Structures are given as structure tokens and as C-alpha cells.
Amino acid sequence: MMQFGLVEKLIVSAVGVMIIAGLYFAWSEHQRDIGASSERAKQEKENARFRVRVNKGVVNYDTCDRAGGMWDFRKSACQLAGTVGGGE
């Protein structure tokens, strides 16, 4: 049988630790990507709901301002950045 010396044992241990560290890093990045995509999907859904509410006119000045829209005082309606001044 082949006997490993101290140096060989240390090298094998170091390689094992590096493999485990790499797997942990890859797993944590994967979890972070899952969280980011979930948060992005929630934000897109909320933006779509907000646009529907804007089109129905049920948004007040403060909500419009927080969303980055332009409040039209004459119409008492919110115009989002993509719709301000367009097509009227």
C-alpha cells in the first residue's frame, strides 16, 4: 500500500477545502439569483397593477409622485413618464 506523508495529506485537505468552498460559493450565488428574480417578478407585477390603477384614475398625487409620474391637476390624473405629453 501507498503511504501518504504529511505534505500529501495537507495538499489533499487543501484541495478538499477549496472544492467545498467553491460549491458553497456557487450555491450562495444561485440562491441570490433566485431571490433577485423573485423580487424582480414581484416588482413587475406591482408596476402592472399601478399602470392599471393609473389608467382607471384611482391614484392620488402622492402615489403618482412616488412612482415618478407627473400629476395633471386639470384632469386630476397621473401620467407616467412614458405617457407624459404623448398622444394628446
* Ranges of each domain in the chain: 8-79
Cβ atoms of 88 and 77 within 8 Å: the answer is no
Three-state secondary-structure class, residue 88 = coil
Burial per residue of 10-24, b for 16 or more beta-carbon CB atoms within 10 angstroms, e otherwise: eeeeeeeeeeeeeee
Q: What would the mean pLDDT of 20-45 be, rounded to a whole number?
A: 93
Which pTM was predicted?
Answer: 0.46
Q: pLDDT for 40-52, tens place per residue?
A: 999 889 888 887 7
